[in-house]
A and B are shown apart, each in its own frame.
Chain A
Amino acid sequence: MSQFLQFLFSGVTVGATYALAALGFTLIYNASNVINFAQGEFIMLGGMLTVYFVNAGLPLPLAVALAIALPAVVGMLVEKLAIEPAKRSSQGAEVVSLIIITIGASLVIRGVVQVWLGKGTHAFPAFSGSEPIAIGGATLLPQSLWVLGGTALIVVALWLFFSRSLAGKAILATSYNPLAAQLVGIDTQWVLLVSFALSAALGAFGGILLTPITMTSYDVGIMLGLKGFVAAVVGGLGSGLGAVAGGLLVGIVEAMAAGYISSAYKDAVPFLLIFVILFFLPRGLFGAKITERV
């Protein structure tokens, strides 16, 4: 039982990061129908930049703030310099082209970090010590509480943003129907820009919280991003609630499989999960039934 609890703790912790990444995918997907392959790189940027700023002698809170702000700027740059021109081009960008552009962006980000900060694996000390807390025979790292608390805070903040603020409602309106949103005076260009900034910041925040537990390096983005996407699909692409539930589910299933079956195949588990979901529940857990007009 205590073993089960232990696996559950580690699954929920890493699952919370997947949930943040999945929320990032969901935001951009809703605003533009683009699946942003660079999402994982924002997670990596969060961790790597914090390490860089902490080593440069900045206090941790400032380092964290910068490591959230910079990826947000990078996200906006990707949108402004790559997605927008492609959407405007005469070809009327197909979804495939947009996906390829985000793959290109992710390679550029990863490559630049590799050249700039090297291939080493890094971490910074946990926010409040690393003395494990014993619960029911299992142990929990204080940093895990930070991860869970941080994620919960973000989810509540996002919910308030989307349900109470005008800006949030404008984004929601755009995701329902871009043309109608434009007609009532919403600047959909701006919505797209904000979505990229917001989802980059979400990813970076998750990356920062997780780094003291799992360490980081220039190439962690691919896996984390992919698992975030799996989480988004498992939850039902486009659903915020689904993204969070999917993230936690993917994290827990992965941790259980690593513990009880084989840790060598831990990384394969989320992808097997996505095949199972696509076979039996093609809309995911919370995905809406879509009828499309031609």
Chain B
Amino acid sequence: MKPILLENLYIKVNKNNLNQKLRYNDGGNVHMDFHGATNTTIEFIINKYGIDTMNDIFKKVGNDVYKDIKDHIKKGNIKMLAKHWQHFFDRENADYNISINDEEIILTVNRCTAYEHVRKLVGNVSPNFCDQTIKTNEALAEDTPYEIKTEILGEAACRQTIRKRA
């Protein structure tokens, strides 16, 4: 018997198969230098107040700024998060793909343009730069039936998976 490839069970997300209305639906030009300011901020806060403070701020971003996405996750609509990923990774011209099935959604970022832009701007990216993703994701999933796992696959690459808690 042939093994079933996991890939076959997923649908690749494209612009036409995620019909969700985003709370923050930015358009126009993109100012990538803001990622440099995020990097500076992460270094400043961690050096002065410690990593727990930085993580608390990311937690507020996940809980408060992204309240709308979180509310959708609580109600079981995890496609809103996929739409958010799709919209903003497209805007930032990242190399990524999103796979979706009934149980989970997987975002694979092969080339994170935010990370690459900071490396170009300042040379050394903060070792905590990706905490903005890890900690904000954790807060988004907290007190919902879902978990979001963020795996760093290397420089400027990660996999983010949202699935129902076991």
Same assembly: no
Q: CB within 8 Å of B: which residues of A? A: none
Q: CB within 8 Å of A: which residues of B? A: none
